[in-house]
Amino acid sequence: MAKKQKIIKNENPIVDVSDKESHAAVQCDNIRLISSFLSPILDKAEADKSDHVAFRVRAIVEENKAYSYLEVIARHKVTGHPGQVVGFNLEFVLMGTFSVQQEITPEDLANFVKMYTVTILWPYAREFATNQFRRTGSDDVVLPIINPQVVTEHIVENNLVDVQIISKAKPKTKKKK
């Protein structure tokens, strides 16, 4: 005899995150494209290499602000492109600006950007790369969906994120005699 399944309807399926308690201690204030370079590949031997995607993360922390950079390099082969173009190289840098919403140390802020830069900036990188390659006539999505937990674990364990903490030296006060 089959059991009856009870269907539970949620009257309010919306998750409200308006309350500051649900916010992270660090927020991303802005994401900007810092530089971009798209060049055609005309050499057939170069285009015979497989598609290639790589990235690097670096960050600068100044007190309660962090500037995190995602540098992306992508090589993509194309077929049926007019002229002698057999592929494209795309290099670009995205910068996320982060600020603290509550008191944390610069070291904790550095750790945050080290752990979350890829998770936060990679979707923007995919959209930008897709847009650039579409302008060349390619309908391919070149940057893959990645597992940010696995990638972040790899880059943190292998110390592949360069983080520079810049502390402002407090001015020395002269003691009165």
- Token readout for 118 is 């890829």
The pLDDT tens digits of the residues spanning 20-61 come to 777 788 999 999 999 999 999 888 777 667 788 999 999 999
Counting residues of the chain whose pLDDT is more than 70, the rounded percentage is: 88
Q: Which helix (H) or strand (E) holds 101?
A: none
The DSSP secondary-structure symbol of 148 reads H
101 belongs to a structural domain: yes
Distance of CA 31 to the CA centre of its chain: 9
Distance of CA 10 to the CA centre of its chain: 34
Domain coverage including residue 64 = 24-166
The pLDDT, as a whole number, for residue 162 is 94
Low-confidence ranges of the chain (pLDDT < 50): none
The pLDDT, as a whole number, for residue 35 is 97
CA 19 vs CA 13, 14, 16, 22, 138: distances in Å = 17, 14, 8, 6, 43
| pTM more than 0.85 | no
8 belongs to a structural domain: no
Neighbouring residues of 24: CB distance < 8 A, sequence distance ≥ 6: 101
175 belongs to a structural domain: no
64 belongs to a structural domain: yes
Task: Output the domain CATH number for residue 127.
Answer: 3.10.420.10
As for how many domains the chain has, the answer is 1
9 belongs to a structural domain: no
86 belongs to a structural domain: yes
3 belongs to a structural domain: no
16 belongs to a structural domain: no
